[in-house]
Amino acid sequence: MRRLTALFPSVRAADRRLLREGRLSGPMPWVLAVMLFLTTLAAAGGLALGQAAQRMGGGLETRATVQIVQADADARERQAAVTLTALRGDPAVRSVERVGAAEMAALLEPWLGAQGTDDLPLPVLIDVGLTRADAVPDLARTLARVAPDARIDDHRAALAPVSRLIGTLRWLALAIVLLMTAATGFVVVLAAASALDTHRGTIDVMHLLGATDIQVARLFQRRIALDALFAGLIGLGAGMLVLTLIGRQLAGLESELVGAVALPAWGGGVLVALPLATTLLAAAAARWTVVRALGRLL
Amino acid sequence: MGSIVRFENVGLRYGADGGSDGETLSDLNFALAPGSFYFLTGASGAGKTSLLRLLYLAQRPTRGAIHLFDEDIVTVPRDRLPGFRRRIGVVFQDFRLIPYLSVYDNVALPLRVAGVEERDLDTPVREMLAWVGLASRADTRPATLSGGEQQRVAIARAVIARPEILVADEPTGNVDPEMAGRLLHLFDALNRLGTTIVVATHDIHLLSRVSNAQTLRLEGGRLSDPTGALRYPPRNSA
Ligand SMILES: Nc1ncnc2c1ncn2[C@@H]1O[C@H](COP(=O)(O)OP(=O)(O)OP(=O)(O)O)[C@@H](O)[C@H]1O
Ligand SMILES: [Mg+2]
């Protein structure tokens, strides 16, 4: 806490005038704003993908579907009955629900038309809720004994490529955020050095008039921290705006998979922390630069 | 009372490697008495500015000892130097006014650095500006002033905090003889209030214009004292 107040010193109004006021004078704040904007997007992307992966995993890992494909309706119904019994008796199964004929018809209607399903040998579909994600192979063996035409499908397997893609994109987002943070650090250090250059005359005079290193550093810290904060808020604001627009378009897609893409509740906190962290970084860099430069003087 | 400044075997050599073309300043041994008025003369390039820079703590000597206010400033911890600097007023040869600050803010700078409250600052700054004849220019920027006016702002800034020593490097370099006389008069008035004054100049006509001033002369980096300032106790402290 003490370090924080040291980074954000209260500087008297008159002292602030010692450095040319007027925010956003150089290109530095705008560069920072652009970087913060991109960092915000990358971070939001990473967080949303993480959330999506979790939801997909959470929702699908413990679900499976049993299909019974048999042209003979009687045989199909017999197998369906024993399958349901076997599933209900298995401790790894949490819930069992046969997809009704009406629902099946509704699912197929887009392809076959309203009357098309009446005399088709539709497979039996059973939606299974599992108590553990790795129960599918055991269930498959059990079912093979009682119902030869039953096939159990693990949704996880179907979604594995998507999961892998999401995983890769998350790492990419993390890498981008880290790179952008490092680049932001460099920009801030360069900005401090260039501000030092610009105000070299003022610094020398203040030094010779008896200002302490900390007195001089405070002015810089404050000025650069304010610039960084301002830039950060612009970047964050623009990023949030874009995210909101994208969010609306995603909502319009009404896709279950895409619907899983959303920021976790604490994600907003992470995004807001980005400009604040940049501000702290800027203040620290300014202080370090000025104190080091003054340290070379007598 | 002893001396306010004492140099012992001080030498100054520019350049990181110690330089090959000898010392700019050599074997400086002298003491300045508090409350006295000194002129420092010498040809251009003789080392006047260099000596003053040692005096106002902008430069460390290559060898020797410098005592300021009875403390050895070569060995004193660095964090005590700002305290010393606040007791020394400097008129730089090139003024060094801060271009984007008003005349008022330039003059107020030493008081603000010293932490004087805003409400206690206005009166002395206005008085000082009136003293150097610039009361009506308080809100202008230095760049819009003439050379002589800028010089007076620099002088006002140097004396505003009532320093114990005033160091002025060619303070009359940019002004006509009449203004030079007026500025010297300012220094003289300050000197009568007890400030030790050191004025570097190569204008020998100035020397006779302050009645009780002593003269130090730099030649080839060494000091001589044509008025015997260093050999005899200064008049004021006798
Ligand atoms: N920062 C520096 N680095 C290297 N050499 C310097 C530096 N400052 C001064 N010198 C050299 O030291 C010598 C003395 O310079 P100084 O400025 O002290 O002379 P001066 O007496 O003040 O001259 P003037 O009357 O022209 O102001 C000169 O030869 C100059 O080139
Ligand atoms: Mg000089």
**Tens digit of pLDDT for each residue in B105-136?**
999 999 999 988 888 999 999 999 998 889 99
pLDDT reported for residue B231: 57
Q: In this structure, are A102 and A174 located in the same domain?
A: no
Q: What is the ipTM of this complex?
A: 0.89
User: What's the CA angle centered on B3, arms A208 and B30, to 5 degrees?
Assistant: 85
Ligand 1, CB within 6 Å, residue ranges? B 14, 24, 42, 44-50, 93, 202
Q: Is residue A62 part of a domain?
A: no
Range of lowest pLDDT (B6-20, B65-79, B84-98, B157-171): B6-20
* C-alpha A251 to ligand 2 mean position (Å): 74
* C-alpha B51 to ligand 1 mean position (Å): 9
Q: In this structure, are A165 and A137 located in the same domain?
A: no
pLDDT tens digits along A199-224: 888 889 999 999 999 888 888 888 88
Strand order in the sheet with A150-154: A93-98, A124-130, A63-68, A150-154
pLDDT reported for residue B123: 94
- For residue B238, pLDDT beyond 50: no
Q: Which chain B residues are Cβ-neighbours of A207 within 8 angstroms?
A: 85
Among B30, B39, B41, smallest CA distance to B5 is for B30
Helices A28-60 and A267-295, interaxial angle, to 10°? 140
Q: In this structure, are A221 and A255 located in the same domain?
A: yes
Q: Is residue A130 part of a domain?
A: yes
Among A21, A2, A7, smallest CA distance to A202 is for A21
pLDDT reported for residue B138: 94
The last residue of one of the domains, among A92, A125, A148, is: A148
Which of the 8 DSSP states describes residue A36?
Answer: H
Q: At A212, phi and psi to the nearest 5?
A: -80, 160
Q: Is residue A63 part of a domain?
A: no
Contact state of A17 with B109 under an 8 Å Cβ cutoff? no
Q: In this structure, are A28 and A102 located in the same domain?
A: no
Q: Is residue A281 part of a domain?
A: yes
pLDDT reported for residue B237: 42
Q: In this structure, are A52 and A170 located in the same domain?
A: yes
User: What domain range includes position A90?
Assistant: 70-148
pLDDT reported for residue A205: 92
Q: In this structure, are A74 and A53 located in the same domain?
A: no
pLDDT tens digits along B189-236: 889 999 999 999 988 888 888 888 889 999 888 888 766 666 544 444
Q: Is residue A153 part of a domain?
A: no
Q: In this structure, are A268 and A186 located in the same domain?
A: yes
User: What's the CA angle centered on B164, arms A217 and B202, to 5 degrees?
Assistant: 95
Q: What is the DSSP string of chain B?
A: ---SEEEEEEEE--STT--SS--SEEEEEEEE-TT-EEEEE--TTSSHHHHHHHHTTSS--SEEEEEETTEETTTS-GGGHHHHHTTEEEE-TT----TTS-HHHHHHHHHHHTT--GGGTHHHHHHHHHHTT-GGGTTS-GGGS-HHHHHHHHHHHHHTT--SEEEEESTTTTS-HHHHHHHHHHHHHHHHTT-EEEEE-S-HHHHTTSTT-EEEEEETTEEE-TT-TTTS--GGG-
Q: Is residue A278 part of a domain?
A: yes
Q: Rounded to an integer, what distance in angstroms lies between the CA atom of residue A122 and that of residue A66?
A: 13
Among A25, A23, A33, A50, smallest CA distance to A232 is for A33
A163 and chain B in contact, CB less than 8 A: no
Q: In this structure, are A81 and A29 located in the same domain?
A: no
Q: In this structure, are A49 and A171 located in the same domain?
A: yes
- Per-domain residue ranges of chain B: 98-162
Residues with CB under 5 A from ligand 2 (ion): B 48-49, 93
pLDDT reported for residue A130: 83
Contact state of A201 with B110 under an 8 Å Cβ cutoff? no
Q: In this structure, are A26 and A48 located in the same domain?
A: yes
Question: Which 19-78 residues of chain A touch chain B by CB within 8 A?
Answer: 20
Residues contacting residue B133 through CB under 8 Å, at least 6 positions apart: B152
Indicate the number of domains in chain A: 2
Q: In this structure, are A50 and A174 located in the same domain?
A: yes
Across the interface, which of B78, B84, B112 has its CB nearest the CB of A15?
B112
Which of the 8 DSSP states describes residue A135?
Answer: G
Q: Give the Cβ contact number of residue B106 at 10 Å.
A: 26
Q: What stretches in chain A show pLDDT beneath 50?
A: 1-2, 4, 22-24
- A223-232 b/e (C-beta count within 10 Å ≥ 16 → b): bbbbbbbbbb
Which long-range contacts link A254-263 to residues 24+ away (Cβ below 8 Å)?
A257/A52, A257/A56, A257/A162, A260/A51, A260/A52, A260/A55, A260/A56, A260/A59, A261/A48, A261/A49, A261/A51, A261/A52, A262/A48, A262/A51, A262/A52, A263/A44, A263/A47, A263/A48, A263/A51
* C-alpha A51 to ligand 2 mean position (Å): 70
Task: Kindly compute the dihedral angle of the four CA atoms of residues A79, A85, A91, A96, in this order, to the nearest 10 degrees.
Answer: 80
- A233-260 b/e (C-beta count within 10 Å ≥ 16 → b): bbbbebbbeebeeeeeebeeeeeeeeeb
Q: In this structure, are A140 and A171 located in the same domain?
A: no
pLDDT reported for residue A88: 87
Q: Rounded to an integer, what distance in angstroms lies between the CA atom of residue B229 and that of residue B193?
A: 21
**Residue to mutate, B10, B12, B13, B14, ligand 1, most ligand atoms under 8 Å from C-beta:** B14
